[in-house]
Chain A
């Protein structure tokens, strides 16, 4: 089976930096995805890590350590529109992804 853990809620200030952690236990690991989901909408793809290290894409970066079963999503220069849920998802060799329960981020002025 698979187990994915993320904090339920986080709060940060506009312009600040926030790190959202994700730990996982899985068999047949084949990559880790981060998605953003605004309330009532579908998730949208943010990042994909399959090798250890940091992937940077604009204000968002994602890090993976396969040996530790650990990833984080780093959001810089926070904006009000970044208030959303952030979903960590682990892909297995079977080709399907299992999602964590998501972290609801609230950005305050």
Chain B
């Protein structure tokens, strides 16, 4: 069955360390997205990519970086420059037309101690 996989589900890191969150999809979707969700809040867009080797900043890109070297993969790196990285991170994908919305991964809960 096709789907979108995020790993790991829970991640703990020390303050000042960079960490990379994995996102892989086998849905043959062109577009992929990273969102951050804080408790009691909606999703805020970090980065998105409409096509391989191209990506754009979202609303809260500072302190994050991404790459899109393969259609299936869109890893997110949380750098030490991100001032408040503890959050629930959601990866999503969609077809270009996007008529059925996003398919989300199960999320990664990052805690920085």
Any A CB within 8 A of the CB of B110: no
Shortest CB distance B100–A (Å): 6
User: B101–A87 contact, CB under 8 A?
Assistant: no
Q: Which of A4, A91, A102 contacts B98 (CB 8 A)?
A: A91
User: How many of chain A's residues touch chain B, expressed as a range?
Assistant: 20 to 34
User: How many of chain B's residues touch chain A, expressed as a range?
Assistant: 20 to 34
Any B CB within 8 A of the CB of A81: no
> How many residue pairs, one in A and one in B, have C-beta atoms under 8 Å apart?
58
Question: Which stretch in A11-19, A42-50, A67-75 binds the other chain?
Answer: A42-50
The B-contacting residues of A in range 9-56, CB under 8 angstroms, are: 31, 33, 35, 41-45, 48
Query: Which residues of the other chain, B, contact A102 by a CB distance below 8 angstroms?
Result: 41-42
Question: Which stretch in B13-21, B43-51, B68-76 binds the other chain?
Answer: B43-51
Given contacts A48-B100, A95-B96, contact A42 B33 (CB under 8 A): no
Bound state CA distance, A91 and B44, in angstroms? Answer: 13
For B35, the closest partner residue in chain A by CB is A99
SS class, residues of chain A in contact with chain B: strand
Any B CB within 8 A of the CB of A101: yes
Shortest CB distance B5–A (Å): 11
Any B CB within 8 A of the CB of A57: no
Map CB proximity to B onto A75-109 as digits: 1 under 8 Å, 0 otherwise.
Answer: 00000000000010101000111111110000000
Q: Which of B43, B50, B56 contacts A99 (CB 8 A)?
A: B43
Given contacts A87-B42, A101-B41, A102-B42, contact A95 B100 (CB under 8 A): no
Query: Which residues of the other chain, B, contact A97 by a CB distance below 8 angstroms?
Result: 33, 45, 98, 101-102
For B38, the closest partner residue in chain A by CB is A101
Query: Which residues of the other chain, B, contact A42 by a CB distance below 8 angstroms?
Result: 90, 104-107
Q: Which of A31, A33, A96, A100 contacts B33 (CB 8 A)?
A: A96
User: B104–A96 contact, CB under 8 A?
Assistant: no
